[in-house]
Amino acid sequence: MAAIEMKNIVKQYGDGFAAVNDVSIDVADGEFVILVGPSGCGKSTLLRMIVGLEDITSGDMIIGGERVNDIAPRDRDLAMVFQNYALYPHLTVYENIAFPLRLAKNFSESEIDEKVRTASATLELDEHLDRKPGNLSGGQRQRVAMGRAIVRDAKAFLFDEPLSNLDAKLRGQMRTEISRLQRRLGITTVYVTHDQTEAMTLGDRVAVLRRGVMEQLATPRELYENPVNLFVAGFIGSPPMNFLPATVEGDMVELPFGRVKIPAEKAARAKGRGLLIAGIRPEHFEDASVMDRATVAEGSTFRAHVDVTEWLGDQQYAYIPFEAPPEVQAQLTQLERDLDGESIRTQLVVSLDSASRVPEGEEIELYVNAAKMHLFDPSTGDNLTVTSPREETSAHSSSTSSSSSGASVAR
Ligand code: ATP
């Protein structure tokens, strides 16, 4: 096992296009880091540079303290697990796991047997050693692929969208399985996905990439609670954060539906900036009629016309039509493009308690937990209300919310 240090990594293709542009990430020994971002952001290219399948234009790739830029893939001691697991269908589970050892040619038959049996015990594959991959479940196949990586004592696991071919249910199961195994084995892992649920649930830390640039590297909680800019705020979270035009006066924020009070320290950071974009997550709204009156009285409420509701059992979403004024449309249109066309400005999406009886087509009193509001600069997209740096230096630093002072908290 080993730490992976990426220092100012650049990948420029022949046409001058920088698929990866000055990315630095330190993956600690035993850490699980996710590379996430929309299609074409450069995440697979970065992974391929770690493995050695892609040349590095500039920067240093350091694995276990050794610079590996010019070291061939097979000598880097890394185990790549692909989408299709690349198992040999005609070989048994035993032989699939033994394969890299036989290839290395320096292990005796008894050494091979011991390593395969240790790996299969760890992965709970003992009962299946004589079966062929075709007779295994998706989860078992995934474990065989990981077994092949374990027997080699690889320095790190690298995953490239391993679950993207699976249906939603199996994907959920596999996610848990990968997470459990990684923790048990404590193997340094870098995992590429475009799925933000995988990113949020699997990683110790997540690197969000856009157009070859790393936008933020942080724990899932930090990304969710303190996104550094509009892109990260819009990319992480489902349904996505709501974006609204806003102006700040004192500690009051003027929104299209009314004025709300925010913590003074947040307001101070947005002072004198003119038109801003406010970001409020769906769960920071609530139907005031299901809340205790004291909490409602301390916070801000407004009347909202509910267009459509979706009841999900434990919660429900209500859609409230809304149109951003032209002043902020340009920035939001660009963001929509970055987020692959996801519409973010035609309606407010709010997540309400399942006890709420929201009638479609009628008005309700909607509470907003303004303390949780973010304010973004419309020209740069920067989040003015977070203090955290773009990059956390410590792999296992605690992730705390810095945004709960001041106004009352709904839930
Ligand atoms: P996806 O999720 O779609 O696989 P990705 O984030 O993994 O996307 P990469 O495959 O790393 O993206 O590609 C990053 C960018 O580099 C893309 O814009 C791609 O078109 C470009 N690219 C990849 N290979 C080449 C090449 N040989 N020459 C020029 N550009 C390339």
Mean pLDDT over residues 202-219, rounded? 95
Q: Is 20 in the pocket of ligand 1 (CB under 6 A)?
A: no
Query: Angle at CA 105, nearest 5°, toward 101 and 106?
Result: 90
Helices within 65-108 (DSSP H only): 93-104
Give distance in angstroms: CA of 69 to centre of ligand 1: 20
Nearest to 203 by CA among 187, 190, 212: 190
CA of residue 132 relative to chain centroid, distance: 34
> Could you tell me whether strands 4-12 and 252-255 are parallel, antiparallel, or unpaired per DSSP bridges?
unpaired
What's the first-to-final CA gap in the chain, in angstroms? 42
Pick from 94-108, 185-199, 263-277, 391-405: least confident: 391-405
For residues 135 and 138, the model is more confident at 135
Contact status, residue 161 vs residue 192, Cβ threshold 8 Å: yes
Phi, psi of 344 (to 5 degrees): -125, 5
State the pLDDT at residue 339.
Answer: 62
Question: Tens of pLDDT along 18-66?
Answer: 999 999 999 999 999 999 999 899 999 999 999 999 999 999 999 999 9
State the pLDDT at residue 352.
Answer: 93
**Percent of the chain, pLDDT > 90?**
46
Q: Ligand 1, atom 25: nearest CA belongs to which residue?
A: 13
Give distance in angstroms: CA of 381 to centre of ligand 1: 25
**Equal fold, 4-226+392-407 vs 230-385:** no
Burial code (b: 16+ CB inside 10 Å, e: under 16) for 223-242 equals bbbbbbbbbbbbbbbebbbb
pLDDT at 178 over 80: yes
Distance CA 200, CA 57 (A): 30
Q: Is 41 in the pocket of ligand 1 (CB under 6 A)?
A: yes
Give distance in angstroms: CA of 17 to centre of ligand 1: 10
The whole-chain average pLDDT of the chain stands at 85
pLDDT at 83 over 90: no
Measured over the CA atoms of residue 73, residue 78, residue 83 and residue 85, the dihedral's sign is: positive
pLDDT at 341 over 60: no
> Does domain 4-226+392-407 correspond to CATH entry 3.40.1410.10?
no
Containing H/E element for 244?
Answer: strand 242-249
Distance CA 22, CA 1 (A): 25
Mean pLDDT over residues 218-227, rounded? 95
Give distance in angstroms: CA of 76 to centre of ligand 1: 23
- Of 41, 194, 208, the residue with max ligand 1 atoms within 8 A of its CB, to mutate for a pocket test, comes to 41
Q: Is 193 in the pocket of ligand 1 (CB under 6 A)?
A: no
> Does domain 230-385 correspond to CATH entry 2.40.50.140?
yes
Give distance in angstroms: CA of 9 to centre of ligand 1: 15
Local structure of residue 281 (DSSP, 8 states): -
Measured over the CA atoms of residue 325, residue 331, residue 335 and residue 338, the dihedral's sign is: positive
Q: Is 45 in the pocket of ligand 1 (CB under 6 A)?
A: yes
Pick from 98-102, 244-248, 372-376: least confident: 244-248
Mean pLDDT over residues 345-359, rounded? 84
State the pLDDT at residue 324.
Answer: 64
The set of residues, in sequence order, having a beta carbon less than 8 Å from that of 39 and lying 6+ positions away, is 194, 340
Give distance in angstroms: CA of 232 to centre of ligand 1: 20
Distance CA 16, CA 58 (A): 13
Contact status, residue 236 vs residue 198, Cβ threshold 8 Å: no
- Of 45, 163, 235, the residue with max ligand 1 atoms within 8 A of its CB, to mutate for a pocket test, comes to 45
State the pLDDT at residue 36.
Answer: 96
Nearest to 206 by CA among 395, 368, 3: 395
State the pLDDT at residue 312.
Answer: 87
Phi, psi of 405 (to 5 degrees): -80, 160
State the pLDDT at residue 258.
Answer: 82
Give distance in angstroms: CA of 190 to centre of ligand 1: 18
Query: Angle at CA 387, nearest 5°, toward 384 and 392?
Result: 125
Give distance in angstroms: CA of 44 to centre of ligand 1: 7
Q: What atom in ligand 1 is closest to the CA of residue 47?
A: 11
Pick from 232-236, 339-343, 393-397: least confident: 393-397
The set of residues, in sequence order, having a beta carbon less than 8 Å from that of 311 and lying 6+ positions away, is 354
Nearest to 291 by CA among 366, 219, 398, 363: 366
State the pLDDT at residue 327.
Answer: 63
Q: What is the pTM of this model?
A: 0.84
Contact status, residue 285 vs residue 310, Cβ threshold 8 Å: no
Q: Is 152 in the pocket of ligand 1 (CB under 6 A)?
A: no
Q: Is 21 in the pocket of ligand 1 (CB under 6 A)?
A: no
- Give the amino acid at 150: I
The burial of 309, by beta-carbon neighbours within 10 Å (0-12 exposed, 13-18 middle, 19 or more buried), is given as middle
Per-domain residue ranges of the chain: 4-226+392-407, 230-385
- Of 44, 49, 53, 340, the residue with max ligand 1 atoms within 8 A of its CB, to mutate for a pocket test, comes to 44
DSSP per-residue codes, 127-187: GGTTS-GGGS-HHHHHHHHHHHHHHTT-SEEEEESTTTTS-HHHHHHHHHHHHHHHHHHT-
